[in-house]
Chain A
Amino acid sequence: MLVLTRKVNQSIMIGEGVEVVVLDVRGEQVRLGIKAPDDVKVHRKEIFEAIKTSNEDAASVDPSDIPT
């Protein structure tokens, strides 16, 4: 993992198409702005992980468990 330190209003470029900028910092919360092309999905990690796990569980649903 690459570790960088930024101040408010400073940015990070990921590849040539994605920019992450620190908008403000209040106590423990950091507000980030992300500029990315339309084909790059940007989400909080928790939601991404939750849907991924749910998809993995869903992929093993047994037809015999389906309510008629």
Chain B
Amino acid sequence: MIEERKELKTRVGVIEFGSDDVLNFPDGLLGFPDQKRFVLVQHKENSPFRWLLSIDDTNLAFLVVDPAEYVTDYAPPMPKRASDALRLDHTTPMLVYTIVTIPSGHPEDMTLNLAGPVVVNCEAGLGRQIVLDDEAYPVRHRAFAQSGEGKAA
């Protein structure tokens, strides 16, 4: 069977994807409950950044990254409600991404949302934004130390 491939012009560039690449988010994302179909594309070759792109709204694109790139020991417990919705058991391969915010023109102020990770069940093509209500997981975790101290990218 020939997989149907589609080309889409998005706000971050032209992408090509097949029906197998589509991730279904039955609950959308917080604030975007009607956006239920996304694809994940790499930002650039060798880049840890990915774009989570809505295929129904070509202006909607979220930058995401594997939290392990910037945070050590990020392994939040998965609420049962979420693992049930994603049909995950303890052996199902899953991807965990955090949504990235970068104030315009200030990459040094990049933050990761550790309270609302995006979890994907790769086999089922299902995704969900999990809500973690715990002080240990801030909504805006700085990727880089405040300017003047520590390391930059």
The verdict on A54 contacting B101 (CB below 8 Å), with A61-B63, A65-B107 known, is yes
Contact size range, B: 35 or more
| Complex alpha-carbon distance, A62 and B31, angstroms | 19
- Determine the chain B residues whose CB is within 8 A of the CB of A65 once the complex forms: 102, 104-107
Binding site for B on A (CB under 8 A): 38-39, 41, 43-44, 47-48, 50-63, 65-68
Tell which of B61, B101, B115 touches A47, judged by Cβ atoms closer than 8 Å. Answer: B115
- Asked if B102 and A61 make an inter-chain contact with CB atoms under 8 angstroms apart, the answer reads yes
Dominant SS at the B interface? loop
- Asked if B133 and A52 make an inter-chain contact with CB atoms under 8 angstroms apart, the answer reads no
Residue B8 lies at the interface, judged by CB distance under 8 Å to chain A: no
Binding site for A on B (CB under 8 A): 12-13, 27, 29-32, 43-44, 47, 49, 60-63, 81, 84-85, 99-102, 104-107, 110, 113, 115-116, 129, 131, 133, 139-140, 153
- Determine the chain B residues whose CB is within 8 A of the CB of A63 once the complex forms: 12-13, 43
With CB as the reference atom, state the residue of chain A lying closest to B106.
A65
- Asked if A59 and B115 make an inter-chain contact with CB atoms under 8 angstroms apart, the answer reads no
Tell which of A43, A53, A54 touches B133, judged by Cβ atoms closer than 8 Å. Answer: A43
- Asked if B100 and A58 make an inter-chain contact with CB atoms under 8 angstroms apart, the answer reads yes
Q: List 22 A-B contacts (CB under 8 A).
A: A38-B84, A41-B81, A41-B131, A47-B131, A48-B30, A51-B131, A54-B140, A55-B31, A55-B129, A57-B101, A58-B63, A58-B100, A58-B113, A59-B60, A59-B61, A59-B62, A60-B104, A61-B102, A65-B107, A66-B63, A67-B107, A68-B47
